[in-house]
Amino acid sequence: MPFNAERTETAETLLCQPERFPSLPKRDRYCRRLLLWRFPAFVPYSSWALFVEREACWVRRLEHDRTRGLALDAAGPDLYGAEARIDPAEAAELLARFTALSVPMFLPTRRFGLDGVRYGVAFGDGWCGTEATWWSDPGEAWRPLAEAYERTVERLEAVLPTSTLRRSVE
């Protein structure tokens, strides 16, 4: 299926609101404490969310290959989801990594890009939070944020099942 901007936008919306993904258990958006997303130019889009619900913690990964389109039913084969429990102590450690960060809040626009990666982090609980996005290289000022992002993705991937989508496109 050729690239379709409207379907890509629908997929991005679901990737950034993973609690709405219909093929996995319902999660409350106010229990989502962390959301990381990555939208590269030529490989599947991904997002990872950390939910804290009472004493249980969950990690959810969603993936979309925009070159394959998006089924009319968002739970169809073009948007993939996986979820796993994560130890509450590890979840707390991951969240603490972000609360300990100190980066400048406002940076001047430095450049634009065509082929690269859009990254994003949303931290908080739906009532109060922070969101940051960057294109490919975040620059020196946000390097600690990008490093925390990468280390966190590695740890979240370690508790999730192997990606069905990435296995099929690699």
**49-63 average pLDDT score:** 95
- pLDDT at residue number 145: 97
Distance separating alpha carbons of residues 6 and 39, to the nearest angstrom: 15
Total domains, the chain: 1
- pLDDT at residue number 3: 56
Q: How far is CA 93 from CA 79, 96, 97, 154, 161, in A?
A: 29, 5, 6, 14, 21
Number of neighbours of residue 68 by Cβ within 10 angstroms:
18
Structure tokens, 49: 């969310």
> What are 156-167's pLDDT values in tens digits?
999 999 987 765
Q: Please list the residues that pair with 82 across neighbouring strands.
A: 61
Residue 73 DSSP one-character state:
S
3-state helix, strand and coil shares in percent for the chain, rounded to the nearest 5: 35, 30, 35
Q: Which of 82-86, 135-139, 144-148 has the lowest mean pLDDT?
A: 135-139
**Structural domain that includes position 147:** 5-169
For the chain, the average pLDDT equals: 87
